[in-house]
Chain A
């Protein structure tokens, strides 16, 4: 098990490294960036950049310095607002985005897995078809489309919910729904098909032959096995929720990191783009790592590598 953890950790570091290098290369390859030569940026900005990125030194030194900065979570100054640094933006915006993403993830996970399980247990009956129909619709409507529709109907037309910002819990309902629907639908589908597979397994019949309560059979025997593939999916779902926050925050005018990121794209504020990309990527890669560990813990075939007593 330890070996497994170390493997995964090394993988994680490797991936972050690649991303950092990729961003570095890209930033220096494109012509006309503030890193290359003079653009229409003020002297103050130029000075900031030169100081932080050591632009007057050789490429190799720049690279090493850049790596060091990444590791220490220092992402440099912003171009659009020379007084603020990327770190300030992150500190301000990330907690908001994190809250949004976390709530959406929890909502999506609980309801998705629940719906999928119920659908599998009532295979081919009405509830199964209903859940699956909703799920297909759920994965087909992009989250930003859903968000705009929700605003149009529930906010503008019906006036039930506010359309923007993140102040009260009432404000949080629509953004969370828009963000959670697609992952929920994906989870429901995967849980259902995994559960259907598990239900046909011999050990399920064996559990029934033991006269155990249906509850115990479904949860202890069924879900334990059915959720294994679902867990591996959680990593990619976290990624899609994270990227989803970009558009959701833009649409709902939520002051999170995603919105700063989207703004920086429009204004071509490269340092912010770079810093945010690397930061977010690190988070995602870390989540994948956590998911791998969780899977290793859940599946005894991985967790125990010691030689059996057979």
Chain B
């Protein structure tokens, strides 16, 4: 029994196309899964920010006069603003490339807000590294680049005007932001390598799925008569 080269070529093309579409479907599903997680994270961070502001510094005082503190306003208004657009995009434009970059920017700005709300506690700076790990769920290194650039820009600008707020010391060098950004790049490098491995794995799974589906179709079975499974069909 002879093989038809044209039919085999067509099958190979179909498998490649199926691999690509399956892979893109997998990646898109990962994006949607990450966005569902960020939907809850954005809501949770907002509530957490308000909780911190209300419990730590609910009021500002001038003698006997008290007013709602700036921290509470920042948590409600700025925190609400930070979460609002990511939530709107997740609900209305899921999977769009802009959605995940807006989330990356918002997530880093959330770190800055939480550091502010906790009175500059050095421990809150770890929120940046946690956020990068969350963003890695997208399996898209470009999202991590957006986050890294935002961190570096935020540190550079604040380092110029109020170095104590980012470095914990008053007389930090103007270049110290590079040290902080360097640690972020360190984590991002590891995460990017993990993303690359993960995407390769995903592509291999997509190939397997495409092959299994192609060989299960009648036309394929007809085009490859030498395959033993044909004899039993």
Q: Do A and B bind each other?
A: no
